[in-house]
Amino acid sequence: MADTSSANAGTTPLGMALMAAALALPAVRSAHADSAPERASLAFKWLDYKDSQLGEDRIRVRAPSALLVLPLSGDWAVGGTLTSDAISGASPAYHTTAITPMHDKRNALELNATRYFANGSLTLGSSVSRESDYLSRNLSVQGSLADESKNTTWTAGLALGRDRINPSTQIVTNEHKRSTDVLAGVTQVLGTHDIAQLNVGWSSGSGYFSDPYKAMDERPRGRRHTTLLARWNHHFEASSGTLRSSYRYYTDSFGVKAHTLGLEYVQPLTQGWTVTPLLRLYTQTAANFYVDADASTDPFPPNPPADWAHYTEDQRLSAFGARTLGLKLAKQIDANWNVDVKYERYSQRASWTLEGRGSPGLAPFNARSLQLGVSRQF
Amino acid sequence: MLCWPLLVALLAFAGGCALIQPVQPWEKGVLAKPEMSFESDRLDSNFTEHTYFSKEAASGGAGVGGGGCGCN
């Protein structure tokens, strides 16, 4: 979340929210268990993110991030990521209206330790993320078990999250949010050039889910969601390229249903260069307590129906579709060094939703991000 | 919340896998390429997942753990 702002301080709340996310830390660990790393690695990446609506700048994020992976022996490895992001710009108080200045900083640390076995692995992880108004702590355990041939790998994971929320608006104090995530998955070698994965995830949370920096925002104090993720990687012998495809279905207790399709093609070139164009398509329905924009109430937000106990005018819970186009260029300099650059453009439009007509009255939203990375193996 | 249908899908996928011709260890050279992994650049995926988490209602699916944020 973000810090928000008082006019004097020049901060704004909402903005944070969008922003923080853009940078944060996070870390979603893959559900596919790899074998123990043979070498240590250190990587740095720098992100420059910027979004806008109808030519009006909104949020800008600059975030350096570092990753360390350290094998301790043949059976153990430890690692972690550290991210520090600076967020500035402006964010709407409701729908795409009442753009308010904001700025914030966020620091996040994630640590993990993995024990590798002959046919599996067990990873313990912890993370903490601190903003001026939001503290998030998380513990996780994830295990994998492969069959004798190592062509089939089963994965299971559990994570517990505890968040503490103290917005600068003091609309609430010492609010909390608790979450439990469970994941089960299977990764299957389909052939010498194909590997696929299917994950099913459940999440259940309770506590404060509203956005304290948005006008007209009163959300349920619980949220459950279910995801189904299918991924498939195929290597083309003729071109030496690899197509990485994914599909995710998402549904939650807010009434949101979403589909995400991802495609990227990794093409090695000469002298260690690799180019990867990517496409991502996304569509979601609106939360069942989302209140549509209504220009007739300007300059005030529309009131929700009198009999609604929960309501939101957050653009992120509206019905829309989105598209990402990107290109990544990487260079393997030698056996130890690798550098990369990635550029993406993201566009969000209500009319692109696949179900229904999309939420009316929202300004088109666009974003672009640039990543610069370098990594070294030891 | 579609828990059972999804669990059935997972088991059906696993059942179908049993019909696949096993790949021998010496045939896994291509599968060992970094681009054949489901997570080839951790910092990249961290940035990307969080960016989408801040702008869309749906999230998750690839794993568990990691830090939350006030992105609501």
A43-78 pLDDT per residue, tens: 999 999 999 998 789 999 999 999 999 999 889 999
What is the mean predicted confidence (pLDDT) over A165-190?
94
**In chain B, whose CA is at the least distance from the CA of A285?**
B57
B29-52 residues labelled b (16+ CB within 10 A) or e (exposed): ebbebebbbbbbbbbbbbbbbbbb
B65 confidence band (pLDDT: 50, 70, 90): confident
Task: List, for residues A265-288, the tens digit of each pLDDT value.
Answer: 999 999 999 999 999 999 999 999
User: Are A29 and B53 inside 8 Å of each other by CB?
Assistant: no
At the second CATH level, the architecture of A13-377 is Beta Barrel (2.40)
Hey, which residues does A42 pair with through a beta bridge?
A68, A376
A103 confidence band (pLDDT: 50, 70, 90): confident
Say if residue B13's pLDDT is above 80: no
A33 confidence band (pLDDT: 50, 70, 90): very low
Q: Which of A200, A201, A129, A114 is nearest to A163 (CA)?
A: A129
Contacts of A232 (CB under 8 A, 6+ apart): A194, A195, A196, A197, A244, A245, A246
| Residues of A in Cβ contact (< 8 Å) with B49 | 26-28
What phi, psi does A15 have (nearest 5°)? Answer: -55, -40
Judge if ipTM > 0.85.
yes
Contact of A115 with A76, CB cutoff 8 Å: yes
Task: List, for residues A204-261, the tens digit of each pLDDT value.
Answer: 999 999 999 999 999 999 999 999 999 999 999 999 999 999 999 999 999 999 999 9
Smallest CA–CA separation between B47 and chain A, in Å? 6
- What pLDDT is recorded for position A128? 95
Domain ranges of chain A: 13-377
Task: List, for residues B30-58, the tens digit of each pLDDT value.
Answer: 999 999 999 879 999 999 999 999 999 99
Say if residue A14's pLDDT is above 50: no
Query: Strand, coil or helix: what is B35?
Result: helix
- What pLDDT is recorded for position A5? 38
Measured CA to CA, the distance from residue B35 to residue B22 in angstroms comes to 21
Say if residue A25's pLDDT is above 50: no
- What pLDDT is recorded for position A74? 80
Task: List, for residues A114-167, the tens digit of each pLDDT value.
Answer: 999 999 999 999 999 999 999 999 999 999 999 999 999 999 999 999 999 999
Contacts of A223 (CB under 8 A, 6+ apart): A203, A204, A205, A209, A252, A253, A254
**In chain B, whose CA is at the least distance from the CA of A1?**
B70
| Residue B26 burial class via C-beta count within 10 angstroms: exposed 0-12, middle 13-18, buried 19 and up | exposed
Top residue of A16, A28, A105, A166 to mutate, by most chain B CBs within 10 Å, is A28
Which of B7, B50, B58 is facing A26, going by the closest CB pair? B50
Cβ within 8 Å of A, B 4-63:
6-7, 9-10, 13-14, 17, 20-25, 27-28, 30-31, 33, 35-39, 41-47, 49-63
Measured CA to CA, the distance from residue A269 to residue A331 in angstroms comes to 9
Smallest CA–CA separation between B34 and chain A, in Å? 10
- What pLDDT is recorded for position A308? 95
- What pLDDT is recorded for position A312? 97
Smallest CA–CA separation between B36 and chain A, in Å? 6
Contact of A27 with A51, CB cutoff 8 Å: no
Contact of A82 with A109, CB cutoff 8 Å: yes
Measured CA to CA, the distance from residue B28 to residue A191 in angstroms comes to 9
Say if residue A9's pLDDT is above 50: no
